[in-house]
A = this chain, B = another copy of it.
């Protein structure tokens, strides 16, 4: 449901305009140094604030409410809460019965029978990704010395990201983008051949980020147009290193010791001031709406650090699980 991971387990909670958002982390090994300042850099990256990002600017300092003692994790669950200091639910009253096109509103209405908190998407809001980023900070400490880095590589089909985003913003519109993520230093042998392949685990995590609609590992969709002799990665040594990395560091669902590389496609945020058609849930008639409020022109920009975070969460779980399965036996 709202949790991920078998051994390193993250559960998310909160609503866009409720009291807080956050995560509860179970399975965190004891002894990891953790304090409020560890979150500063990644939370700032997520908060954004450049041109084209929402003017909602909360401090987003995660409070560590349990699981840390004398500056180190204890092995008990770690509760991280982030206050919604600038929530403004009044802006959403109009939208209660006119679900925004492209948003989760209509799906939430149908799923929860109208009991969902509709204000700003409620539990579906991008605001919830603050909790993901906080979980990612903890996960990155677990997977160290392995490292995950994600950057936006194009927006609106253009490598000139700022220009594309600014153009969309001026038009009262938004634009999609592509984020590239690389994990270095990931040990070989993570993942499982069926169902819990590394691709499965990472894709599972990444598709929980609002607006992500596609993912590809290594050569990905390009490999569908290749020949085998071209796509195969020649193996260089017994550690599994290859001459190139079309497989994106994963063979048979298992890490092969190379960098894990993937790309994620973000659709444009559906909140645009350009008018769109929807249905009035009270009358059943189609009406036109335009979404006011504070929104990003390109969520992929701030999405990069979220991709990083959930990838670290997925890798931390795979890593801790692998430690279990490698136990020496006397058999």
Contact = CB atoms under 8 A, between A and B. Distances in A.
Interface in A102-156: 102-108, 110-113, 115-117, 121-124, 128, 141-142, 144-145, 154, 156
Contacts of A251: 102-107
A101 B300 CA distance: 35
A315 to B, nearest CB: 13
A229 B276 CA distance: 7
A54 interface: no
A182 interface: no
A107 B186 CA distance: 13
A157 B223 CA distance: 9
A74 B112 contact: yes
A199 interface: yes
Nearest to A167: B227
A216 interface: yes
Interface string A227-270: 11111111111111011001110111111110000000111111
Q: Which of A102, A173, A246 has the most CB of B within 10 A?
A: A102
B254 A194 contact: no
9 contacts: A1-B26, A19-B65, A73-B331, A104-B251, A124-B252, A200-B208, A228-B271, A238-B284, A323-B323
**Complex A-B, nearest 6 residue pairs according to Cβ-Cβ distance, in ascending order:** A104-B252, A214-B216, A32-B331, A157-B225, A102-B232, A107-B254
